[in-house]
Amino acid sequence: MADKKESGGAAARSAADVAKAWKTVEADIARERKNHEQRGHIFVGISKEEFEKKMRRADSPFFTGAGWNSPAPWGGTINYSVGVHNPDPFAWGNLVVAIAIGNRNAIVSNDEFMTTFDARFPTYAKPTPFGFSLAPGASTSQSFAIKIPNGVEKTAYFANAVLQQLSFNDVGKYLDRAVCFFEVA
């Protein structure tokens, strides 16, 4: 499903629209926080201020929170999940979340951010083959099992997530990014 671009978007959102959307996302974040904390995982959700900022700048789906376990030994797994919300009054399709390991969080250039990674770790993307869709105002999450390669340094690593919209016959669209910080012990 291709995205439908309608007039309006971020610039047309009223304060009441943003407040209503926050109530939905706030409940999603609280539920995800409880799920992760019950499993002993770390959870980071966006604040109301961060949400409002994303609503002003974004005319697209964006990340709302992330949870993960840490540390993990060689051969172990970091379970990383990210929440995605569609604030728009139209559906988005062909959405994909990709994960790569590397010290990239502070890189401003999206081109460099998307190409610089630690090749000792596999990269991940899902879901295949066409991505996922989000209805207007809907949220979802994507989860990944990041395998820790044997022999990597026992230190901390960044798992960088990028939300993008696939275009099978042209250049895809960058939408948002997120990060988690985990330890190999």
Domains observed in the chain: 9-183 (2.60.40.10)
Average confidence score pLDDT of the chain: 90
> For residue 139, what pLDDT is reported?
95
Structure tokens at 158: 């960044």
Full-model pTM: 0.89
Amino acid at residue number 142: Q
Contact 66, 82 (CB under 8 A): yes
Q: Is the pLDDT of residue 3 over 80?
A: no
pLDDT digits (tens, 9 = 90+) for 74-124: 999 999 999 999 999 899 999 999 999 998 777 777 777 777 789 999 999
Q: Residue 50: name the closest of 41, 59, 62 by CA.
A: 62
How far apart (Å, rounded) are the C-alpha atoms in residues 94 and 44? 26
pLDDT digits (tens, 9 = 90+) for 34-85: 999 999 999 999 999 999 999 988 668 999 999 999 999 999 999 999 999 9
DSSP 61: -
How far apart (Å, rounded) are the C-alpha atoms in residues 155 and 71? 10
- Classify 159 as helix, strand or coil: strand
Structure tokens at 66: 């992330």
108 CB-near residues (< 8 Å, 6+ apart): none
Structure tokens at 109: 């250039």
Describe the crossing of helices 48-57 and 15-38 by its angle, rounded to 10 degrees. Answer: 130
Q: Is the pLDDT of residue 11 over 50?
A: yes
Q: Residue 116: name the closest of 105, 124, 125 by CA.
A: 105
